[in-house]
Structure 1
């Protein structure tokens, strides 16, 4: 590839997966400082892509258009790019990767077969866990890129940190990833008794649950993702599920307590190079799903129900103590 050839990076969805592209984009920019780097994303996740570094142009795909949208993009993008980096590795992205006729292309490894064996039979063929951002960087190995060994480092507004504010993000796309509402309510009561300021944050679809959990505390729902990033950046810490907002919080440099249930570290989505601690239960039925589901296969949902407010409070205290020790040692 020439030093100034145009590059298209494809990652259509979802929120967290798009944010996890940041280290690979930085690596590409360092390797090809004069290249145009464009990013193709599904229109529903364009706000997430706007938080990524090193992008020249953002191109969106409206999934409601189906194959017509793909054909339109194929005509638009054909022969424009010397290199296409497919970090989605799906039938849609493969069509675009091949139909646009770049001089070179590369794709990420999603380890689908290993994931299936771990979910179906609990046979672990992963070996050493490779976080998703590192998988993305490894997709660029043939180009001679170098990992800068930083975290996500997302673009966000910098404001003064409120050392007394804890932000709770009780949402997740799938039911089995969610901690019970009554546990969140108990956590709010514990935090309130300890003198913390509490803000509860979520999507517009999660508004009712957020208000039920927050009680008289502030609720932020349905706001622009950049504004949510600014809120999380000001917090002393964030408590959340395995969700896109977990990656947003770590990407803006805020300490995180992450509650994991049906998914496991081998899938690559644990907090990446961040001040973060994970709360999870050592159950034989985990993992039961790659992304979570609407019903627990065992009908008990113990992976989330066995996590107690006491455990979360203890983990949060440990996380904040680690941060305090690090600051005092500087």
Structure 2
């Protein structure tokens, strides 16, 4: 039987269901002096917000534009010229379950106080299709932010003042953010990624032409095996490139295994901040990476990408589009799984190293 709509829920028959609360209309972006963009995810997610930030900067020329970022994602902020500041927080709605933290009755109380002190005119909550904007919107409401924009399929009360209809699930993350802003009067200025490499980044670059190999990723399920990275590295070195294998201090073992037997390999472990990595990648002929922030960083500095894309996510939502790129994966029935550790045999990343070598040879800058 048909059930009555929840009071306040959008009318699905209206021209723009759920777009605005009654009588709200588009925000007056040109009059705003301080705007918060909420994206407390990883580095790659922050880099993919750059086209949205570019559009917002043009629509709100008087405003300071600030980013609410995770400790990991905040590393990208110095590369994004559209940002005036960053608020760093480990927000409750992005943390994995933890018994001790679960007992905290108000885990975001300090964040509410921080946001309230900054007197924002508006908050734009950006999410992937599987994330909900409602926890972030509720925090922003508690902080007294009067305009709160986000998109969602599910109803969440009045925490959002501008509830945008959900874009298609399979849309690219860049397009998703732009569609959210377009629905509230902020037109796109293009979907290309771009970041600024600081002049003092000073990454150590090898002499001659080189290819960057980054075997790390945020979780094991996204990582091609380091032994296959090494096999590909040997093939790339055999074609005349210096192979630079890089990773964080925590990825030292991965880097060592991925560089094993690669003639002339340069190992950079824990030596680069994100600006330094951007500088290194910008000088490379190509990069070979997992589905990680390194792929988006290369996309944003203009370096061709060969990406080993695990079945944890849908390729179309994250694939590089600004530069020449080849995304290598194997379709599996369990994809997209969004698992941190593969419970099977990583069939989605059963990619022969020769395919990577061939892709580098096709894409690498002349």
TM-score under structure 1 length normalisation: 0.83
Report which stretch shifted further, 58-67 or 21-30: 58-67
CA drift of 1:274 comes to 2.4
- Residues 1:147 and 2:147 are matched in the alignment: no
1:85 corresponds to: 124
- Structure 1's 217 and 266: CA in aligned 2 closer, same or farther, altered over 3 A? closer
What residue number does 2:13 align with? none
Distance 1:309 1:4, change over 3 A: same
Cα-to-partner distance string for 1:104-152 (whole Å, 9 max, x where unaligned): 111145x79xxxxxxxxxxxxx969421011111111233222222421
**Mapped partners of 2:332, 2:67: distance in 1:** 39
1:318 partnered with 2:362: yes
50-59 vs 91-100, which moves further:
91-100
Question: What is the SS of the residue equivalent to 1:143?
Answer: coil
Aligned counterpart, 1:100: 143
Deviation of 1:318 after TM superposition, in Å, equals: 2.0
Give the deviation of 1:95 after TM superposition.
2.8
CA separation of 1:84 and 1:214: change in aligned 2, threshold 3 A: same
222, 225, 239: which one pairs with 1:180? 225
Quote how far apart the aligned CAs of 1:285 are: 3.4
Instruction: Provide closer, same or farther for how the CA distance between residues 128 and 293 of structure 1 changes in structure 2, counting only shifts above 3 A.
Output: closer
**Equivalent in the alignment of 1:3:** 30
Aligned residue among 258, 265, 284 for 1:217? 265
> 1:53 offset after TM fit, Å?
2.5
Task: Kindly report which structure 2 residues correspond to 1:1-330, keeping only aligned pairs within 5 A, or say none.
Answer: 1=28, 3-5=30-32, 6-62=34-90, 70-78=108-116, 80-88=119-127, 89-90=132-133, 92-109=135-152, 129-157=170-198, 164-215=209-260, 217-222=265-270, 223-265=272-314, 268-287=317-336, 289-290=337-338, 292-296=339-343, 299-305=344-350, 307-320=351-364, 323-324=365-366
Aligned to 1:121: none
Pairwise CA RMSD? 2.7
Name the CA distance, whole Å, in 2 between partners of 1:197 and 1:166: 6
Cα drift, residue 162 of structure 1: 6.8
- Higher Rg: 2
Contact 1:31 1:145 in 2 (8 A): yes
Q: Which structure has the highest helix share of the two?
A: 1
Give the superposition deviation at 1:70. Answer: 2.3
My pick for the range that moved more, 96-105 or 234-243, is: 96-105
Q: Structure 1 pair 285/42, CA: closer, same or farther in 2 (3 Å)?
A: closer
User: Match of 2:281, SS?
Assistant: helix
Q: 2 CA distance for matches of 1:210 and 1:237?
A: 18
Say whether the 8 Å CA contact 1:130–1:266 is kept in structure 2. no
- CA displacement, residues 243-263 of structure 1 (integer Å, 9 cap, x when unaligned): 111111111111100111213
- Deviation per residue, 1:67-109 (Å, 9 max, x gap): 7662223223228122110114455423322212322111145
Q: Which deviates the most, 31-40 or 141-150?
A: 141-150
Rounded to whole Å, the distance in 1 between the matches of 2:41 and 2:168 is 26
Cα drift, residue 190 of structure 1 = 0.9
Unmatched segments (≥5 aa) in structure 1: 113-125, 325-330
Matches of 2:115 and 2:198, distance apart in 1: 32
TM-score (norm 2): 0.75
Distance verdict in 2 for CA 1:131–1:308, change over 3 Å:
same
The aligned length equals 303
Q: Which stretch of structure 1 is more off in the superposition, 158-167 or 273-282? A: 158-167
